[in-house]
Amino acid sequence: MPSRPDWRYTPALLKHLLAMDHAPTRLAQVTRVALGWLTHYRVGGVGAVIRALLQREDVDDTVREEAASRGFAWLRSGMRAGTDVGPTVIVLLECDRLPESARIELFRLALEWLGEPRRHPSTGRVLRGILVDERCPAELKRRAGDLARSWVTRGFAEWEASSHSQLVQALLVHDDTQDAALPLLNQLASQPGSPSSPAVLQRLLLHHDQLSPDQARATVAHALVWLRDHQDPESLATVLSPLLRVPGLTARQLRKAVEHGFVHLLAHPHDHEAMAMLLSQLNGLTTAQARAVADVSLHWLASHRGKAQRPVLASFLTRHDLSAEQTRAGIDIALDRLTADTASKDRAVLSGVLRNPALEADQRSRAVDCAQRWLHRHGGLPKACLILEDLLALPSLPSGERTLLLRLAGDWLDRHAEHPLAERLRVALKSCTAGGRIG
């Protein structure tokens, strides 16, 4: 390996070697090779190798300090060359084993890089990392906050939405939320079409409970205007979803928000995120709208597989205003998925089936089989008690299923006797046995 320091696979190989178990002598050889490779300026792969060195528990402080020193030398070289050193800065910020003195130097180097006029794709992520790091000294964090406020209110079109959204989120957490919201709302009023507006709206809506009443009302008004003027899928996912979670929307505001989503879905019938979002609005859709969305969803579900089905099915199964044919079709698709896959994350889909009042006898038998298979694999999870509770609520379980269910419930209570959900399961057991639903 030392004879091929610039081989493009060298960083990945070093990272792999540093992740393996080694005898002390071999580990010393591996760390020596890694530190030697880090001696000279490299274009890429440096951050991953440094992180692999720093995260090992069996290397001494001297090795860690040397690795950090090589990393900082690389950062200075990269900054002089105009390179995007942000990814390596982020790797080092996330490293818990960085010596304190090295971490302070890292904050200073990062702020020096952030002070350059040129922007990079990782600029927002680096600034966010400094703002949310509790180990950053107050003076340096104030400098980072000043930069963040300046950049967020001016906006940068070249930043990707996720980077800008993370920066706004960090700023709202770092500053007093109402103080931080004021320039953001002014920006929305003066630059309503700014590329950064969706990210700003998203974060303000997610922090609505920390805004003043006037600020919350203004944020909702700006969001509705944005949705009226922008029908692209990114705007829907970024703005509409958090808007629909805001409690206390007036009937008119809720109707307008849902209409934007409804129109969008009819124009983009393969947008499964929009399907799940609209179906989850139990009070926002009219019966006609709910059934129209259900038709689009059933068509999509019939031709798609995989984890993207989960949120659509979970929301679909909560609705009680669909036609009998739609409900049965949705339950059948859910049962087909649960028969083929027993992943722990399918719990919400399984609960939706078991709790559905339209569950027919043949479907119920399949649902109980699916639930038993799911519990066999995931019965030890804390939220497995919710599946047990759903099964206990089913009428007239056969004797064999009753015995198995009581044993599984007892096992869960033995493992999680102090869990906050334990009392719910005890009440369900008592109610079930007293009501004669088992047996």
The predicted pLDDT at position 38 comes to 82
According to the 3-state scheme, what is the secondary structure of the chain?
CCCCCCCCCHHHHHHHHHHCCCCHHHHHHHHHHHHHHCCCCCCCCHHHHHHHHHHCCCCCHHHHHHHHHHHHHHHHHHHHCCCCCHHHHHHHHCCCCCCHHHHHHHHHHHHHHHCCCCCCCCHHHHHHHHHHCCCCCHHHHHHHHHHHHHHHHHCCCCCCHHHHHHHHHHHHHHCCHHHHHHHHHHHHHHCCCCCCHHHHHHHHHHCHHHCCHHHHHHHHHHHHHHHHHCCCHHHHHHHHHHHHCCCCCCHHHHHHHHHHHHHHHHHCCCCHHHHHHHHCCCCCCCHHHHHHHHHHHHHHHHCCCCCCHHHHHHHHCCCCCCCHHHHHHHHHHHHHHHHHCCCHHHHHHHHHHHHCCCCCHHHHHHHHHHHHHHHHHHCCCCCHHHHHHHHHCCCCECHHHHHHHHHHHHHHHHHCCCCCCHHHHHHHHHHHHHHCCEC
The predicted pLDDT at position 99 comes to 77
The predicted pLDDT at position 19 comes to 87
| pLDDT beyond 60 at 37 | yes
pLDDT tens-place string over residues 331-384: 999 999 999 988 899 999 999 999 999 999 899 999 999 999 999 999 989 999
Average pLDDT (123-148) is 85
The predicted pLDDT at position 2 comes to 47
The predicted pLDDT at position 175 comes to 59
Average pLDDT (168-178) is 65
Answer with the residue of higher pLDDT: 415 or 119: 415
Lookup: tokens for 220: 């909702």
The predicted pLDDT at position 157 comes to 45
Closest by CA to 302, choosing from 345, 263, 270, is 270
Closest by CA to 186, choosing from 211, 217, 218, is 218
Average pLDDT along the chain: 84
The predicted pLDDT at position 40 comes to 67
The predicted pLDDT at position 174 comes to 60
The predicted pLDDT at position 439 comes to 47
The predicted pLDDT at position 399 comes to 81
The predicted pLDDT at position 171 comes to 64
Of how many residues is the chain composed? 439
Average pLDDT (70-75) is 78
- The region of weakest confidence among 82-86, 299-303, 395-399 is 82-86
pLDDT tens-place string over residues 253-302: 999 999 888 888 888 899 898 899 899 988 788 999 999 999 999 999 99
Closest by CA to 164, choosing from 189, 129, 198, 113, is 198
| pLDDT beyond 60 at 438 | no
Backbone angles phi, psi at 438, to 5 degrees: -105, 125
| pLDDT beyond 80 at 324 | yes
Answer with the residue of higher pLDDT: 119 or 61: 61
The predicted pLDDT at position 210 comes to 87
Average pLDDT (114-128) is 77
The predicted pLDDT at position 336 comes to 95
pLDDT band at 3 (very low <50, low <70, confident <90, very high): very low
Q: Which of 53-57, 103-107, 130-134 has the highest mean pLDDT?
A: 103-107
Q: Which of 177-181, 182-186, 362-366 has the highest mean pLDDT?
A: 362-366
Residues near 359 by beta carbon (within 8 Å), at least 6 away in sequence: 331, 353, 367
- The region of weakest confidence among 107-116, 142-151, 197-206, 208-217 is 142-151
pLDDT band at 184 (very low <50, low <70, confident <90, very high): confident
The predicted pLDDT at position 359 comes to 93
